[in-house]
Amino acid sequence: MIHNRTLALIAALGLAAIACKDSTSVGDLNNVSAEAISGGLTRASTGLLVNGLLNASRGELDSRYLVFTETMARDFYRLDNAEARYISEIIGGPADFSAFTGGGAFSGMYVTIRSANTILNSLPTATGLTTAEASATQGLVNTFKALAYYRVLETRDSLGIAIDVNHPIDDPPAAFVCKPNALTYISALLDTASTQLAAGGASFPFTLPAGFSSNGSFTTPTAFLRFNRGLKGKVELYRGLDHSKPNTGSFATALTALNAALTGAPAGPDGGLYNTYSTSANESTNPLADANIYLNPAVGDSLQAGDTRAAKILTVTSKTLNQVTSKYKAVATDPAGALTRSIPVLKTSELLLLRAQVKIELGDLIGATADINTVRASDGGLAAIAVPASKKLAIDAVLYEKRYSLLGENAHRLVDLRAYTRLNATFLKKETTQDVFQTTLPIPKRELDARNTTSIAPTCS
């Protein structure tokens, strides 16, 4: 009996020993740990993070940013039997700040900004980069950071945006600043980037995606500086057009910047920097490839005779849903061809039309008309127009070209309608009974909840 018991105890102890020998430590089996970059950057990890940043920047152009802003601007009507909110909230009642609608086109931009800050914070201690290469990297990163701030401002406009976000997660959330302050900041950031690119030597220390060289080359710091200047011109134009605090010097600054951007710009209206898409494994396809996206009938109906940009528009079976009817779709959204279609970030025709807008504000209607006619000829195959008789007619002319040249490419039309005070029933059809002509998406509820508040008043200096 004792014998049995002893055996049992020995067995139990032996098993206990086996059990204890198996350590309980298990690492992360599915992901790369953030610790991989906490020890400082190398040339290789800098390249890895820059590609991640560019991918995050491309990710901002999701179906929300593009579809919501183009819907608010009355270009796109997404008619989805499963989801009425693309209409009911975007051109109907106010967008629900807790849903994908009102909460959209916000956090993605701040992910890009944090990606950029992660690189910028670590670059001073990075190894394997020359001073010029580090400067070029800073210039590129700061430019995309500025672009992310600008895009989130496009969607939130007068509500303001948070700027001072380069802080650890435990710090209090950054204050919201008003639109003029945000534009001032973005403009200055682009200048900082410009200086850094100018000191960036002959090449970037990493390979850039195909969209940097598919329609003209932006693969060197010098060439990429043109993209930076283009953005600068765009930001300055809307700084000048801001309702609450228009910046008087901005139009002149914008003209200088846009001239710089257009100097040596790739030939043709489509030259520029693009986001590219692919159907290869684990790559992203174009977010606009969506059979439910229709065009506001006015887009198809208002096209001038002979405009070759008609090729961008498809006539389809009429569909009525959620109080909206359409019979047009955009080629850019037709899944049959759009999955791998590139989306321009900034292209020559937009630069020309931005410059036309700047010239209009500077009173140079002749110069503006010349830029408009350049686009009309190269992009639309249309005859030149005479110099418009008034500023309003000139704006009409430039908005026509922008609508068709830049259809579904960014938030240009929402921004312009707002800047020219045209986002109202005077200029636009009231599409639904609940149509309130909302000018911005709301501050997402998650942002308000995290700040334990129900509204944020932006600070203005």
Q: Please give the residues from 38 up to 67 whose contact with another protein meets the rule CB under 8 A.
A: 45, 47-56, 58
Contact set for another protein, span 232-271 (CB under 8 A) = none
Which neighbouring-strand residues pair with 326? 319
Contact set for another protein, span 69-128 (CB under 8 A) = 80-85, 88-89, 92-93, 96-102, 106-107, 110-111, 113-115, 117-118
Give the burial class of 65: count Cβ atoms within 10 A of its Cβ; 0-12 exposed, 13-18 middle, 19 or more buried: buried
Which residue's CB is nearer to another protein, number 195 or number 284? 284
Contact set for another protein, span 345-404 (CB under 8 A) = none
CB 106 within 8 A of CB 151: no
Task: Return the residue of 125, 169, 263, 390 that touches another protein, per CB under 8 A.
Answer: 169
CB 233 within 8 A of CB 354: yes
Which residue's CB is nearer to another protein, number 433 or number 461? 433
- The least distance separating another protein from the CB of residue 161, rounded to whole angstroms, comes to 8
Site pattern 19..38 for another protein (x: CB under 8 A): xxxxxxxx-xxxxxxx-xx-
Q: Which stretch binds another protein (CB under 8 A): 15-23, 190-198, 297-305, 364-372?
A: 15-23
Angle, alpha carbons 91-95-99 (nearest 5°):
135
The residue among 382, 383, 408 whose CA lies nearest residue 312 is 408
Tokens read off for 226: 């043109």
Number of residues in contact with another protein under rule CB under 8 A? 116
Angle, alpha carbons 459-109-167 (nearest 5°):
60
Q: Which stretch binds another protein (CB under 8 A): 228-236, 369-377, 378-386, 426-434?
A: 426-434
- The least distance separating another protein from the CB of residue 460, rounded to whole angstroms, comes to 17
Which residue's CB is nearer to another protein, number 148 or number 360? 148
C-alpha–C-alpha distance, residues 287 and 270, integer Å: 20
Instruction: Provide the 3-class DSSP secondary structure of residue 209.
Output: coil
Site pattern 292..321 for another protein (x: CB under 8 A): x-----------------------xx-xx-
Task: Find the farthest-apart pair of alpha carbons in the chain and give their distance in angstroms, rounded.
Answer: 114
331 part of the interface to another protein, by CB under 8 A: no
| Helix residue ranges per DSSP H, 157-296 | 179-198, 221-241, 250-262
C-alpha–C-alpha distance, residues 355 and 375, integer Å: 12
The residue among 320, 323, 329, 322 whose CA lies nearest residue 293 is 329
- The least distance separating another protein from the CB of residue 368, rounded to whole angstroms, comes to 37
At what angle are helices 221-241 and 348-361 packed, to 10 degrees? 40
Q: Which stretch binds another protein (CB under 8 A): 157-165, 186-194, 229-237, 369-377?
A: 157-165
Contact set for another protein, span 203-232 (CB under 8 A) = 207, 209-211
Which residue's CB is nearer to another protein, number 259 or number 278? 278
